Copies of this chain bind each other. A is one copy, B any other.
Amino acid sequence: MEPILVVGSVALDTVETPFGRVKNVLGGSATYFSVSASFFVPVRVVAVVGNDFPQKYINQIGKRNIDLRGLMRQKGKTFRWGGRYDYNLNEAHTVFTQLNVFESFVPEIPMDYIDTPYVFLANIDPDLQLDVLGKLKSPRLVACDTMNYWIDSKKQQIKNVLKKVDILLINEAETRQLAEEFNLVKAARRIISWGPKAIIIKRGEHGCIYFGRDSMFAAPSYPLEKVFDPTGAGDSFAGGFAGYLAMKGKLNDNNIRQAIIFGSVMGSFCVERFSLNQLMNITTDEIVKRYCEIKNLTHFGNIRQL
């Protein structure tokens, strides 16, 4: 099984939702992505933590099929994020952001990572995403994420990244902002014209929609009775999506559609408990079971005529 490389953040999160509060728990885009993708293929992580980062978290991640040689430990404090959600769990309110060692993060790619065939560039500075791509040896598939902060401040750099990326994963509001177009079909077409082969627009509890050069696919989110904490759902989605694609190898329409459903499955597990508590505890059988539940949720019969 060929591995996937993720470059992103490993963080300590303090999160408050209507259902509880946790302090300095394991978080970060690279963490959620890795744990999620590790159900499908071996994962390689490039990220940075401070010398305050608890060894128990390293041990938890390391127990999985995740290679942490690219996780640098630097003098200083780990990136910390504080967030709050109201009953509308679709919207995160940032309480604080302490970049700490993440502020001066320059991804160092270990020598035997450079020919990793599958790559996910999580939501980091697009200049760093470009830097990473320059260091890699012709990967087979590159997917990336971005966010409103970079769209505001470094739009041209994002466009430069997109020239070298196969699939962009991005949320709905950010799609509109990036394309400067409200209609999602037009917005997706515009972004694809800048370079990527495809775009996956994440809509939180409303599922996601995929636009390729000549294919469209819409997937619902799995309706959950208990959404505990939405933090990390997008990166868990990306992990399931890219992990499954890496496992299958071939990037055809059929595999992409199935990969999107696995993304949806992993996102739905993520939000059921705080931090990575649910993702760390599920089994492959549970993943397949939820996949089948989404299949049943969306199935309807063919029609020839009225």
A residues in contact (CB < 8 Å) with B: 39-40, 87-89, 182-186, 203, 205-207, 209, 216-220, 223-227, 247, 254, 257-258, 260-261, 284, 287-288, 291-292, 295, 297-306
Given contacts A39-B306, A287-B306, contact A184 B223 (CB under 8 A): yes
Separation in Å of the A85 CB from the closest CB of chain B?
11
Given contacts A185-B224, A207-B218, A223-B209, contact A288 B305 (CB under 8 A): yes
- Chain B residues, CB < 8 A from A299: 257
Set B39, B216, B225, B257: member contacting A300, Cβ < 8 A: B257
Q: Which residue of B lies closest to A215 (CB)?
A: B296
- Chain B residues, CB < 8 A from A298: 217-219, 298, 300
- Chain B residues, CB < 8 A from A219: 298, 300
- Nearest 8 CB-CB pairs, A to B? A218-B220, A206-B206, A257-B300, A87-B182, A185-B225, A185-B223, A284-B306, A218-B297
Given contacts A207-B218, A288-B303, 9 further A-B contacts (CB under 8 A): A183-B224, A184-B205, A203-B206, A209-B223, A220-B220, A247-B306, A260-B300, A295-B303, A298-B298
